[in-house]
Amino acid sequence: MRTPYTAPVAPVMPTMRRFFMAASVHANTMLVVFCPFAAGYYLSYFYRYVNAVIAKDLVQDFGLAPGDLGLLTSAYFLAFAAFQLPLGVLLDRFGPRRCTAALMCVAAAGALTFGLAQDLAMLSAGRALIGLGVSAGLMGSIKAFTLWFPRERLTALSGWMIAVGSVGALSATAPVQALLGSFGWRTLFVVLAL
């Protein structure tokens, strides 16, 4: 009677440990690829949620109605969503590094416009530029990961990217509220533009 062949079983390592061991081999790639894209995605989520915290200050400074606040929020999301199809074409043509870097400059211009705004139109334009600028936050990073990392690491990298975005959302709440008392919302946006 023949014994069926069984393949040797590789030792099972926890996912996090395996991720970091593989990352240590490619630490330079992690720093050069993951960290800049993670910073962009962090800002994407930060800008997405910061309006809720600064809304009271915007109403006080500009006398905005609830509909005006809705316009500011929707300007971000409309620009973000409208650019997704052209973004895919640009990512394929020019690559994720160039596209994301150029769009982050647009986001910085939007943050500066928003921070220096004197009326609702400038506030809306700033929010739209921010939305356009951070639109490559996730798709640019996923495209970069497919180009520069082994296929088996894509799931872990995507998970880490989502976690970084969640930290961006969290840091747009209580930490921003604490900073507003000392610096104000305008200073916050001007500093973020730099």
Do the domain assignments include residue 147? yes
Does 21 score more than 90 pLDDT? no
Number of domains in the chain: 1
Do the domain assignments include residue 4? no
- Phi, psi for 123 (deg, rounded to 5): -60, -45
What is the reported pLDDT for 117? 95
Residue range 30-38: mean pLDDT, rounded: 85
Does 113 score more than 90 pLDDT? yes
What is the reported pLDDT for 19? 56
The tokens describing 167, both together, are 């930290």
Give the domain range for residue 51.
28-193
**How confident is the model over 119-152, as pLDDT tens digits?**
999 999 999 999 999 999 999 999 999 998 888 8
Do the domain assignments include residue 137? yes
- Please, which pLDDT band fits residue 3 given cuts at 50, 70 and 90? low
Least confident of 18-32, 66-80, 97-111, 173-187: 18-32
Residue range 160-165: mean pLDDT, rounded: 94
Do the domain assignments include residue 18? no
Does 188 score more than 60 pLDDT? yes
Do the domain assignments include residue 55? yes
**How confident is the model over 35-58, as pLDDT tens digits?**
899 999 999 999 999 999 999 999
Do the domain assignments include residue 184? yes
What is the reported pLDDT for 43? 95
Look up the pTM and report it.
Answer: 0.83
Do the domain assignments include residue 20? no
CATH number at residue 92: 1.20.1250.20
Do the domain assignments include residue 82? yes
